[in-house]
């Protein structure tokens, strides 16, 4: 319990602007932290919004980044996982894969962003998979950039198609819908 308190205090310290800072903070919370556990091993996963995106238009800055910290460790550490390009996180959920080639637990992050251009007005949903690796020592959250994302779960648009004047609905915009889809692939 003491380790969990240390991690939360560390994270809150990142989020609270210093009294002597002359500008606004550059990090805020995009989604509340989640705790991942397998057996007795536990980690806390943080979703931190990067406010530098608003301040710096000259270079690409991801909308948010994912970090995790072990909860049962004697040393507090903050480890980087990957970036999130969406404007908001709709859901963070877990799926336990049963198929032998993919067996194990994965964390999914479903994000949503506004989409507005000459041909479309609405939102786009994307789900990213982050495998949870259970080693002898601890748990880690991973992102394998060489693994291609499932195209069905990436850039699913919902809104008005302005060219055809038609409303398009996204089938995979909730954790429940995505889990049903994953079950069909996990046979």
User: Which DSSP letter does residue 102 get?
Assistant: T
Q: What is the pTM of this model?
A: 0.81
Per-residue confidence (pLDDT) for residue 3, from 0 to 100: 53
Banded pLDDT at 21 (limits 50, 70, 90): very low
Domain ranges of the chain: 2-185
* Count of beta carbons in the 10 Å neighbourhood of residue 103: 10
Query: Is 48:62 a contact under the CB 8 Å cutoff?
Result: no
Regarding predicted confidence, which is higher, 181 or 24? 181
pLDDT score recorded for residue 135: 87
Q: What's the number of CA atoms in the CB half-sphere (13 Å) around residue 120?
A: 13
Q: What is the pLDDT of residues 50-104, one digit of tens each?
A: 776 556 667 777 778 999 998 876 667 889 999 988 889 999 999 999 999 889 9
How many CB atoms lie under 10 A from the CB of residue 176? 10
Residue 7's pLDDT band, with cuts at 50, 70 and 90, is: very low
124 touches 111 (CB < 8 A): no
């Amino acid at each position: 319990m003491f380790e969990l308190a240390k991690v939360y205090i560390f994270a809150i310290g990142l989020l609270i602007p210093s009294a002597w800072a002359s500008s606004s903070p550059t990090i805020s919370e995009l989604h509340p932290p989640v705790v991942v556990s397998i057996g007795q091993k536990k980690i806390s996963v943080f979703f931190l919004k990067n406010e530098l995106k608003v301040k710096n238009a000259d270079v690409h800055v991801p909308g948010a980044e994912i970090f995790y910290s072990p909860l049962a460790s004697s040393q507090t550490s903050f480890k980087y996982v990957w970036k999130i390009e969406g404007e908001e996180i709709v859901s963070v959920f877990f799926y336990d894969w049963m198929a032998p080639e993919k067996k194990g637990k994965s964390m999914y992050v479903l994000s949503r962003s506004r989409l507005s251009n000459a041909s479309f007005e609405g939102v786009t949903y994307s789900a990213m998979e982050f495998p949870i690796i259970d080693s002898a020592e601890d748990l880690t959250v991973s992102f394998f950039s060489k693994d291609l994302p499932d195209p069905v779960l990436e850039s699913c648009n919902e809104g008005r198609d302005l060219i055809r004047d038609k409303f398009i609905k996204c089938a995979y915009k909730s954790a429940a819908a995505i889990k049903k889809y994953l079950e069909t692939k996990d046979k």
